[in-house]
Amino acid sequence: RRSPGRRRRRGPVSKGGSPRDGGSMSCQVSVLYFARSAELTGLRCETLSVPRQITSLQLWEEIVKVHPRLAVIRDQVVFAVRQEYVLLGDQLLVLQPGDEVAIIPPISGG
């Protein structure tokens, strides 16, 4: 049974991973950049594929792999995951496909 144009994609699985990926299932999340993080990336938002279970610090490191210039704001950045603030550290996040991750550096120059 072949239907033209269907199920030809063999790349990363966007919804929940697959048994082939060794159990480290991944999902696509929307990453929103604000203030200085938007300046450093040149973006307001993008979709990234990340592990579903990841610490906030590991998530930051995944984003910095894509945008190395963000490393300069590491000590000042705060995440908001599903609109709840999360500090960088060993807090485990369980992400769902489509979750929003906001990168929020300090906005005022105090």
Nearest Cα to Cα of residue 102 among 68, 69, 78: 78
What CATH number is associated with residue 94?
3.10.20.30
Distances (CA, A) of 46 to 32, 33, 66: 7, 9, 11
What SS3 state is found at 96?
coil
Distances (CA, A) of 54 to 23, 29, 37, 93, 106: 13, 13, 21, 5, 24
Q: How many domains does the chain have?
A: 1
Instruction: Going residue by residue through the chain, which has 110 residues, state the pLDDT in tens, using 9 for 90 and above.
Output: 544 444 333 333 333 333 334 345 999 999 999 999 999 999 999 999 999 999 999 999 999 999 999 999 999 888 899 999 998 999 999 999 999 999 998 766 55
Residue 17 lies in a domain: no
Q: Answer yes or no: are the C-beta atoms of 29 and 99 closer than 8 Å.
A: yes
Give the residue numbers spanning the domain of 56.
26-104
Residue 44 lies in a domain: yes
pTM higher than the cut 0.85: no
Residue 83 lies in a domain: yes
Report how far residue 103's alpha carbon sits from residue 110's, in angstroms, rounded to the nearest whole number: 19
